[in-house]
Amino acid sequence: MRRALASFALFASLAGAGANPALAQLGSMDAPAKAKSYVLYAAEQQSVPAGKRGVLELRFHLVQGYHVNSHTPKSDLLIPTALTLQPADGVKAGPLEYPAGQPFSFSFDPTDKLDVYAGDFTIKLPVVATAGAHTVDGALRYQACDHASCYPPRTLPVQVVFTAK
């Protein structure tokens, strides 16, 4: 019975508000108020050596009380946090370097650990760029959850601003 209840609660949290508002309300009486944006990002001016490999750091902040799945969640049913970037003139980007996730479990099943980001996390972007100012546009796709519910996936516009000297 406990296992069935835990499975139902997990289904309800994964279903989110978009699939069934009644399920999304389940257990959400103590949840923080739904935020306009769960993940915050502000472009920081950075510098890398021109024509040589440099690493840019994209710093993200989750609103308190929320978490997102890591880039490599432990289940195919979970939506990974993923950053996509558009090509930019004079910039050759390497593979993104995602941080390790943190273990997280719900109170109804403390043995089932998820792999999440909470608080602040940084994604590193290796680049080789020609001399000058550069801007790389992209988007962070994520699904925010609190202790009781998961919300519909969102996309956060990202702009990486840097100078190669």
Could you tell me the CATH number of the domain that includes residue 153?
2.60.40.1250
Q: Mean pLDDT over residues 141-163, rounded?
A: 94
The answer to whether residue 105 scores a pLDDT higher than 60 is: yes
Q: How far is CA 49 from CA 110, 126, 133, 163, in A?
A: 47, 12, 12, 8
pTM of the model: 0.76
Q: Of 55, 59, 82, which Cα lies nearest the Cα of 70? A: 82
Which three-class secondary structure string do you get for 75-115? CCCCCCCEEEECCECCEEECCCECCCCEEEEECCEEEEEEE
Q: Domain total for the chain?
A: 1
Q: What is the pLDDT of residue 157?
A: 96
What is the sign of the dihedral through the CA atoms of 68, 71, 72 and 77?
A: positive
Lowest mean pLDDT among 26-30, 40-44, 67-71: 26-30
Domain carrying residue 112: 2-164
